[in-house]
Amino acid sequence: MSTFAIAQEMTTNFGAPVGDNQNSKTVGEYGPVLLEDIHLIEKLAAFDRERIPERVVHPRGAGAFGVFEASADMSKYTIAAPFQQVGKTTELAVRFSTVIHGKGSPETARDPRGFAVKFYTEQGNYDIVGNNLPIFFIRDAIKFPDMVHSLKPSPVTNKQDPNRFFDFFSHIPEATHMLTRVYSDYGIPAGYQFMNGSSVHGYKWINAKGEVTYVKYHWESKQGEKNLTVAEAEVQQGKDWQHATISLRNAIDSKNYPQWDLYVQLIKPEDLHSFDFFPLDATKDWPADKIERIKIGTMTLNRNPVNYFQEVESIAFAPGSLIPGVQASEDKLLQGRLFSYFDTQRHRLGPNFQQIEVNKPKQKVVNYNSDSFSSSRNDEFDNPDVNYQPSSRTAVSDTEKYKYVQETLNNVTITQQKITKTNDFSQAGDFYRSLSKQEQENLISNLAGDLAKVKDKNTQKTMITYFYKADRNYGMSLAKALGFSMSDFMGGKH
């Protein structure tokens, strides 16, 4: 039996058959190449444009496809399609990623991991765009560009430098909790299927009565959480620094389909200020012992991408990709992301990125956003001559029941100020104390490793002070590891 593929006729991008794909058109056998060789020119031009702009953050990633099956009826709280009845299934896509490091960087680097899920629902695409950790470094999006700049390579040396990012974080006390988690072993997951996920932000669920409940999502890996120590990461990097991508792909190929259970935490609006932290502060976790976690379903990944560029590099997630039953909360960081994510996809993929196959909703899209690059929708309307609304010439109209829920903000001033209930250190201390003695030692060693590279002693002392405020033993152990004594902190602002 022949193993050769069935012959297919090669064509140009405009469909004409190609006569010779091996030799350029030349003046004689040894003469120069002619500009009129259209196939050559088109082939080179396409090659020159193969790369699109790298994501500013989350450039290195892996993707997969699967299904979500609901295990609870949450219609009491939301009309969101995937969560309406037990047993309901919804197709989905995921992308896991590192955050700061470039597209070709090793997956053994210390970094938060992106955890993004796109539900293809009958009411549109719903994206839960979060991380493997339940919190973030900052609470206000206005700080995001500066934070990323400090973590990226220096514009002078092109090298990532703890002097730069700890200089920044020494002015950002709310980052203490996130730094504590990132510098623990959770900062280097052993593989994408071995990490949990979180929406990080709280959102608003809206039910059929228009009632609001604040919600936060958590994905719990059924494979268990597994992380690498620094020593283990060094060994893994020497063997294969693309291990997380390969591990995920091999698991699916071998039909050992990874699964995550989805849990939610719910807060009534009237209870939002009943905690010693503000739940819509992205630097804060919602403690499970105070706010119950409710299992609502399970995600199973059962298909690998067929073409990485088309299905992973081109997939576009945005926290503003919401469906009826879900609205954005007042979270300051989320509010900035609502703009930033859509905008970066327009920059990377073009203004019609939602028409790319992997980003298309399952149902027909009906609106009059028109033209520009790669537009393919303008001929789908009942009356193509009408590209506006309202109109008496078409039946296209909006649906009043899906309007935003009206909320009254009486006696509240629109302002630019820091929230008063910051509580920047207690949860970092709680997390530190939850670690085993060995995990605490690893955390101290990991932090000291980078802080030791910081030349400014005041920056080092400020960071130690933050960790001391989280937990006395935590701060003192770090100070000792960096060669400081208690006298170094006496008499000054520290």
Asked whether the beta carbons of 446 and 153 are under 8 A apart, the reply is no
Asked whether the beta carbons of 55 and 64 are under 8 A apart, the reply is no
Q: Is 359 a catalytic residue?
A: no
C-alpha 136/C-alpha 158 separation (Å) is 25
Which residue of the set 58, 101, 177, 243 is catalytic? 58
Is the link from the previous residue into 390 a cis peptide, with omega within 30 of 0?
A: yes
Domains belonging to the chain, first-starting first, are 13-50 (4.10.91.20), 61-136+189-359 (2.40.180.10), 426-489 (1.20.1370.20)
C-alpha 400/C-alpha 418 separation (Å) is 36
Tokens matching residue 270: 């009237």
C-alpha 361/C-alpha 441 separation (Å) is 48
Residue 261, strand partner residues: 220, 298
Tokens matching residue 4: 């050769």
C-alpha 371/C-alpha 368 separation (Å) is 9
Backbone φ/ψ region at 210: left (φ over 0), alpha (ψ -120 to 50), beta: left
C-alpha 278/C-alpha 422 separation (Å) is 7
Q: Is 131 a catalytic residue?
A: yes
* 432 has binding-site annotation: no
The DSSP-derived string for 137-197 is: S-S-GGGHHHHHHHHSPPTTT-S--HHHHHHHHTT-GGGHHHHHHHTSGGGSBS-GGG--E
Which residue of the set 39, 125, 131, 201 is catalytic? 131
Q: Which amino acid is at 77?
A: Y
Contacts with 182 (C-beta within 8 Å, 6 or more apart), sequence order: 110, 111, 112, 133
C-alpha 123/C-alpha 17 separation (Å) is 42
Tokens matching residue 117: 């899920």
CA distances, 48 to each of 20, 40, 45, 51, 428 (Å): 21, 12, 5, 8, 48
CA distances, 30 to each of 18, 19, 342 (Å): 22, 20, 52
Q: What are phi and psi of 337, to 5 degrees?
A: -65, -30
Q: Position of tokens 């995990």?
A: 439
C-alpha 354/C-alpha 368 separation (Å) is 14
Exposed, middle or buried by CB within 10 Å (0-12, 13-18, 19+), for 377?
middle
Digitized pLDDT (tens) for each residue of the chain, 494 residues in all: 455 666 788 888 888 888 888 888 899 888 888 888 888 888 888 888 888 899 999 999 999 999 999 999 999 999 999 999 999 999 999 999 999 999 999 999 999 999 999 999 999 999 999 999 999 999 999 999 999 999 999 999 999 999 999 999 999 999 999 999 999 999 999 999 999 999 999 999 999 999 999 999 999 999 999 999 999 999 999 999 999 999 999 999 999 999 999 999 999 999 999 999 999 999 999 999 999 999 999 999 999 999 999 999 999 999 999 999 999 999 999 999 999 999 999 999 988 888 888 998 988 887 777 777 777 765 566 677 777 777 777 777 777 777 777 666 556 666 677 889 999 999 999 999 999 999 999 999 999 999 999 999 999 999 999 999 999 999 999 999 999 988 888 765 44
C-alpha 184/C-alpha 433 separation (Å) is 12
C-alpha 132/C-alpha 198 separation (Å) is 6
From the list 273, 419, 264, the residue with the least C-alpha distance to 333 is 419
Q: Is 484 helix (H, G, I), strand (E, B) or coil?
A: coil
Contacts with 384 (C-beta within 8 Å, 6 or more apart), sequence order: 378
Note the pLDDT tens digit of each residue in 91-140.
999 999 999 999 999 999 999 999 999 999 999 999 999 999 999 999 99
Characterize 191-220 residue by residue with b for buried, 16 or more Cβ atoms within 10 angstroms of its Cβ, and e for exposed.
Answer: bbbbbbbbbbbbbbbbbeeeebbbbbbbbb
Backbone φ/ψ region at 226: left (φ over 0), alpha (ψ -120 to 50), beta: beta
Give the pLDDT confidence score for residue 197 in this predicted structure: 98
- Say what the pTM is: 0.89
Q: What is the CA radius of gyration of the chain?
A: 26
Contacts with 208 (C-beta within 8 Å, 6 or more apart), sequence order: 75, 79
Long-range CB contact pairs, 242-246, < 8 A, 24+: 242/106, 242/107, 243/107, 243/108, 243/191, 244/62, 244/96, 244/107, 244/189, 244/190, 244/191, 244/192, 245/62, 245/107, 245/192
Q: Is 455 helix (H, G, I), strand (E, B) or coil?
A: coil
